[in-house]
Structure formats: C-alpha cells, structure tokens
C-alpha cells in the first residue's frame, strides 16, 4: 500500500480528500523592477503554502513581433500572477486575457504590474487603479479611504507616485473578506514604496487594506488603497501594491497576503491559517 501511494504521488495522483494543486502562472519578462529577483521569491512563497504548482511565462523584450506572438495558454491555469510592466501585448493576447477573466479566471497584480497597460480599458477595469505608463487623470479617480469608508476622489492631479521607502502600517478595511479574515487590524509592513495618487475606474472594487501616505516621506497625505479585490465578469482579481523588490517581499505580511490573495483569486475561498510570525502593529516580521 505504501508503495502504491508513493507511486500515485509520484505520478501526480491525489490521496482521497486531497485537493488538486492550483495551477498558477507568473508572467514576467519586462519590468522596470527586479523581475528576475522577485519572480523566484513569489514562486517559492506560493509553493511553500502547498496549494499551488507554479510555472513562469517570460515575455520577450521590446515591443516587436516576438512580443506580439507571446500568448500563454491562460485557460490552463486557475490563476495568473502579473509581474509584468512593459510594452503592450498583441491584440490576440489581450483578447485572450479578457475572455479568460470574463469566464471566471483569477489574476493577482503585484506592485509595478499596475504601471502597465494604461491605455487598455479592460485591463484598467481588472486592476481598479494604476499609475505611470499611459495613465492620466482621464483614467479615473483616486481610490482612498475617508470618513470610515471607501471613496473615489475625482480631484484633478498627478497619476502614480511614491515617496521615499519606509516601514508603514497597513490598516485592514474589510476584516470579513476571506483574504483578511483573522489578520490584525493593523500591521507594520517592511520598508517599501508606498504607492499613492493611483487612478482608475475602480468598478466593482473593494479596498481590503490602506496605508497612510505621510507627507513627511513625500506621500499624498491620504489613506491610499494598497490591497484591493475586483470582480471582473465571473473572474476575481487581487491587486497588491506592496512588494517593490526582493527585500520588501521578505515581509511576512506581503508573503501571507500574496498566498491568501492568490488562493482567493483562484477559488474564491481561503483555506490557509494566519501564520504565527505575522507582523504586529508595531513590529515588522521578515522571513
């Protein structure tokens, strides 16, 4: 029997009651950030949960015919993790992503992945808000927390910014959402960029956590959305603005919300326990 089980496991078979691993695709290849450093960190974090099998699709550089031909088979995966910030994809690939998400796909957007595709309206609908490349005040409003609730701030102004890197507190705003359930109301994130002045349509978007972008670090002086979930058709998106580089990704708060957000985007549920080394309101926790 033991031999049989081993053989089954080696063949990719499952034990009774064991869920199939969630097939996951990280997409990278162009990014003004250290994608060669961050993709392995995220792959390792996801695999450490025991829930995911992770593959990587690396887009070619530039924006020529090779990129136009870049077309991962999205439908093979339960969830996509976007670590791509670069040239626009070909029309067939864009259409395939829209169809995959509309039909119930899952997507996780990490940090600078929300800098790309600013002139692709469906992508804006998927990510709620973004900044920099191709974004303008025509992209939509700022997504912020004011007077105890989520607001779309339509005042004119810049699009996409961050001050100096520093440690900052994440404030949970949707404690009952599966990704956030059991997490503390406040936790201190490792030194990182704090994205602010991000704009977009923010349709069907729910803020899970914000951070206060203190003006003393060059921030907006507002409580800015940092962790967001978005419904797109039948699909689910988890958008995390934290995680500038491998150092910031050592934060157990980043790792845990990535693991939980990816499971939720894949399935709509979270089965993972909150780890004992999760950061406290006044203490960063690194792995």
Return residues touching Zn ion (CB under 5 A): 193, 244
Give SS3 for 211.
Answer: strand
- 8 Å CB contact between 260 and 272: yes
User: Minimum distance from CB of 249 to Zn ion (Å)?
Assistant: 11
- 8 Å CB contact between 241 and 225: yes
Tell me which residue has tokens 């791509």. Answer: 84
Residue nearest to Zn ion (CB): 244
Rounded Cα distance, 13 and 231, in Å? 33
Rounded Cα distance, 129 and 210, in Å? 13
Longest Cα–Cα distance of the chain, Å, equals 68
Strand-pair category, 205-212 with 223-232: antiparallel
Compare residues 231 and 247 and give the one whose CB is closer to Zn ion. 247
Beta bridge partners of 143: 152
Compare residues 236 and 244 and give the one whose CB is closer to Zn ion. 244
Q: Is 246 exposed, middle or buried (0-12, 13-18, 19+ CB in 10 A)?
A: middle
Compare residues 54 and 112 and give the one whose CB is closer to Zn ion. 112
User: Minimum distance from CB of 152 to Zn ion (Å)?
Assistant: 24
Tell me which residue has tokens 């940090």. Answer: 111
User: Minimum distance from CB of 192 to Zn ion (Å)?
Assistant: 8
Compare residues 101 and 110 and give the one whose CB is closer to Zn ion. 110
Query: Mutual orientation of helices 252-267 and 35-48 as an angle, nearest 10°?
Result: 70
Compare residues 36 and 146 and give the one whose CB is closer to Zn ion. 36
User: Minimum distance from CB of 105 to Zn ion (Å)?
Assistant: 26
Compare residues 101 and 258 and give the one whose CB is closer to Zn ion. 258
User: Minimum distance from CB of 146 to Zn ion (Å)?
Assistant: 25
User: Minimum distance from CB of 115 to Zn ion (Å)?
Assistant: 8
């Amino acid at each position: 029997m033991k031999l049989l089980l081993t053989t089954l496991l080696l063949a990719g078979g499952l034990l009774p009651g064991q869920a199939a691993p969630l097939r996951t695709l990280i997409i990278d290849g162009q990014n003004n950030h250290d994608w060669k450093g961050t993709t392995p960190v995220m792959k390792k974090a996801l695999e450490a949960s025991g829930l995911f099998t992770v593959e990587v699709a690396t887009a070619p550089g530039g924006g020529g015919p090779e990129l136009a031909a870049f077309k991962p088979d999205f439908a093979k995966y339960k969830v996509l993790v976007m670590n791509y910030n670069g040239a626009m994809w070909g029309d067939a690939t864009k259409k395939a992503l829209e169809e995959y998400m509309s039909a119930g796909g899952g997507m996780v957007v990490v940090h600078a992945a929300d800098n790309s595709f600013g002139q692709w309206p469906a992508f804006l609908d998927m990510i709620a808000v973004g900044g920099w490349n191709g974004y303008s005040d025509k992209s939509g409003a700022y997504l912020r927390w004011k007077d105890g609730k989520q607001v779309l701030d339509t005042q004119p102004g810049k699009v996409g910014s961050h001050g100096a890197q520093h440690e900052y507190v994440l404030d949970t705003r949707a404690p009952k959402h599966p990704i956030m359930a059991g997490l503390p109301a406040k936790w201190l994130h490792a030194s990182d960029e704090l994205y602010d002045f991000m704009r977009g349509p923010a349709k069907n978007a729910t803020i899970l956590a914000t951070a206060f972008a203190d003006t003393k670090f060059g921030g907006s002086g507002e409580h800015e959305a940092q962790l967001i979930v978005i419904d797109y058709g039948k699909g689910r998106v988890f958008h995390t603005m934290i995680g500038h580089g491998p150092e910031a990704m050592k934060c157990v708060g980043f790792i845990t919300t990535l693991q939980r957000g990816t499971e939720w985007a894949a399935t709509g549920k979270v089965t993972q326990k909150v780890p004992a080394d999760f950061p406290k309101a006044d203490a960063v926790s690194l792995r």
